[in-house]
Amino acid sequence: MLRDFPRLFLQHTAATRRHLAPELLLRLITPACPLWAAPVDRSPFADPYWGFFWPGGQAAARYMLDNRATVFGRRVLDVGCGCGAGAIAAALMGATKAVANDIDPYAVLATKINAELNKCTVETSTEDYIGTACDDFDTILIGDMFYDEDFAKLLFEWLSKLAAKDKMVLIGDPGRHGLTSRRRSQLQQLARYELPAHCREENHGFTEAAVWRLTSPTT
Ligand SMILES: C[S@@+](CC[C@H](N)C(=O)[O-])C[C@H]1O[C@@H](n2cnc3c(N)ncnc32)[C@H](O)[C@@H]1O
């Protein structure tokens, strides 16, 4: 399927700016796509996370587009890039290096197509960075990855170590249960965005998304 993916991707997605970062044109699975309402057994894709721009990722992209200094001249790693919007926003805002990373190889293929649509270059990687030192990066970007408690624990412990090494760790999140109040107490809120009505409907229960910075105890 990997070889066929670009064709299937173009067939089952639509280009849209209907999200919090309309500067970015992204091919996504939208309500206009037959796949949106198709039964799971009719989908050629298993778990197409890359087909959606998750509210936490939308907030993170909005923040970078409004706050260029966060990424300008920096080496940015977008972990769990999905459709690639985080890395694309960083590249457009002048990151010297923007790497879109996802353990799902289809996500990085989707990202490459979306980067081309936005006339920018992002590097891609399917390496599992979690637990690694990230020596080649200054900024670590996390869009909407606190959806599972076990994973959230692993992720937060790793991000805390990176923040203690003075990496800038940015987290976009709509209030997922994995970003517990204990974890939130270690974060500084940088921005909060109301989600557009259609986005609230598509993400049941979420009305806003915030961008947080994980700071080391001495920062
Ligand atoms: C909810 S989606 C968020 C996508 C994107 N950041 C956004 O906000 O639109 C989570 C993504 O994390 C990816 N993922 C899960 N575990 C990962 C890991 N250990 N390293 C990199 N990506 C991972 C999934 O494949 C999925 O694409």
Mutate to test the pocket of ligand 1, among 29, 103, 149, 177 (most ligand atoms within 8 A of CB): 103
C-alpha neighbours within 13 Å on the C-beta side of residue 26? 32
Write out the residue range of the structural domain in which residue 118 sits.
Answer: 5-214
Domain count, the chain: 1
Handedness of CA 21, 27, 28, 29 (dihedral sign): positive
Summarize the confidence of residues 126-145 as an average pLDDT.
Answer: 98
Question: Percent of the chain beyond pLDDT 70?
Answer: 99
Q: Using the mean position of ligand 1's atoms as its centre, give its distance from the Cα of residue 144 in Å.
A: 8
Structural domain includes residue 78: yes
When mean pLDDT is compared across 41-45, 66-70, 184-188, the lowest value belongs to 41-45
Question: C-alpha distances in angstroms, 54 versus 41, 60, 143, 215?
Answer: 23, 10, 7, 24
> Is residue 172 in some structural domain?
yes
- The Cα–Cα gap between 193 and 163 comes to 24
**132 within domain boundaries:** yes
Atom number of ligand 1 nearest to Cα 50: 27
Q: Give the mean pLDDT of 44-68.
A: 97
Asked whether residue 184 is assigned to any structural domain, the reply reads yes
Does the pLDDT of residue 204 top 90, yes or no?
no
Domain with 159 in it: what CATH number? 3.40.50.150
219 located within any domain: no
Candidate of 145, 158, 159, 212 to mutate for ligand 1, largest count of ligand atoms within 8 Å of Cβ: 145
Q: What is the pLDDT of residue 205?
A: 84
Residues with CB under 6 A from ligand 1: 49-50, 53-54, 56-57, 79-83, 86, 101-104, 107, 128, 130, 143-145
In a domain? residue 104:
yes
pLDDT score recorded for residue 3: 85
Is residue 128 one of the residues assigned to a domain? yes
Ligand 1, closest atom to CA 78?
A: 6
As beta bridge partners, residue 191 has 211
Say how many Å lie between the CA of residue 81 and the centre of ligand 1.
6
pTM for this entry: 0.97
